[in-house]
Homo-oligomer: A and B are copies of this chain.
Amino acid sequence: MNILITGGAGFLGQRLARGLLERGTLMGKPIASLTLLDVVRAPDFDDKRVRAETGDIADRSVLERCITTDTHAIFHLAAIVSGQAEADFELGMRINLDASRLLLDVCRTLGHAPRVLFTSSVAVYGGVLPDVVRDDTALNPQSSYGTQKAIAELLLCDYSRRGFVDGRVLRLPTISVRPGKPNAAASSFASGIIREPLNGERAVCPVNGSTRLWLLSPQQAIESLIAGCELDQAALGLWPVVNLPGLSVSVTDMVDALKEVAGEEVASLIDWKPDPKIEKIVGSWPGAWDVSRGEKLGLSADNSFADVIRAFRKG
């Protein structure tokens, strides 16, 4: 089992690599090699199975170097995040759309139909939405990031239907709590308002407390990625897209959970400064979606956001 992770130096990519290496197998087969491709070099894993590759994922020769007829599974995580894709249209199109298509096309040309998992996002939804988004709710993204993800989904579904890849898309809730620094995602605050106060630092919350988010912890995300990759194509039927189970919480709920876990004083480190640009993007995303299909496929959400914060504190 030879695996490629794009965005392999990123936060989720590294965690996924660690998860896979600890597990030792994927789809019932021992992992022989794990290639981590990214624009920056992935940290050293001190594991002979790991190979770090750097390069521009929108460059076909880079993908051709990393995907061969020996590649059995690809986790495509590399992306330009929502805020940045909105600010830099061409970059978002290049990485989120062109590179995703190139990746599929390299697989098509090789002809061995590897298993390919794309991650997608709440941002594919938008416009007038029901309180709980259903599997059959139309996509109407209100950001370039959401548009590019929706297009990559359609491409993967068609390449999969035609037998060019054995593909599946997992639509991820917003991941919280991410460690590290804020990033250019419009949802960056969903980690920042927990992480920074826990570190004794002030954090800005750019949206209203009533804003509802659909969340998943990093731990649960990695479990879902692996489980999603191992799903049989037949189980997915005519629609290889899965809305991953998550927690529907308001920002106020999140702050209440922070108070519960770490106390009032920590929670008081949040400064409420509405940012209309971020409110517009995040406010267009669904606060919850129907999880019955995801659960039927054996995927699950976190128990509670307080538990998510506790797990984050443990590191």
A residues near B (Cβ < 8 Å) are 89, 126-128, 130, 135-142, 144, 147, 150-151, 154-155, 157-158, 161-162, 238-239
Contacts and interface: CB of A to CB of B under 8 A. Distances in A.
B136 A238 contact: no
B154 A150 contact: yes
Contacts of A135: 138
Contacts of A239: 127-128, 140
Centre residue among A138, A141, A155, A239 by max chain B CB count within 10 A? A138
12 contacts: A89-B162, A126-B238, A127-B238, A127-B239, A128-B238, A137-B138, A141-B154, A141-B158, A142-B238, A147-B157, A151-B155, A154-B154
B136 A137 contact: yes
Given A127-B239, A147-B155, A138 B139 contact: yes
A80 to B, nearest CB: 14
Contacts of A126: 238
A94 B58 CA distance: 18
A243 to B, nearest CB: 11
A78 B128 CA distance: 31
Contact of A144 (B127, B142, B162): B162
Contacts of A162: 89, 144
Contacts of A157: 140-141, 147
A126 B147 CA distance: 20
A151 B136 CA distance: 17
Given A151-B155, A238-B127, A138 B141 contact: no
B238 A140 contact: yes
Nearest to A156: B147
Contacts of A147: 154-155, 157-158
A163 B130 CA distance: 27
Given A138-B138, A147-B154, 15 more contacts: A126-B238, A127-B238, A130-B136, A135-B138, A136-B137, A139-B139, A139-B154, A140-B157, A140-B239, A141-B154, A142-B161, A142-B238, A147-B158, A151-B154, A154-B154
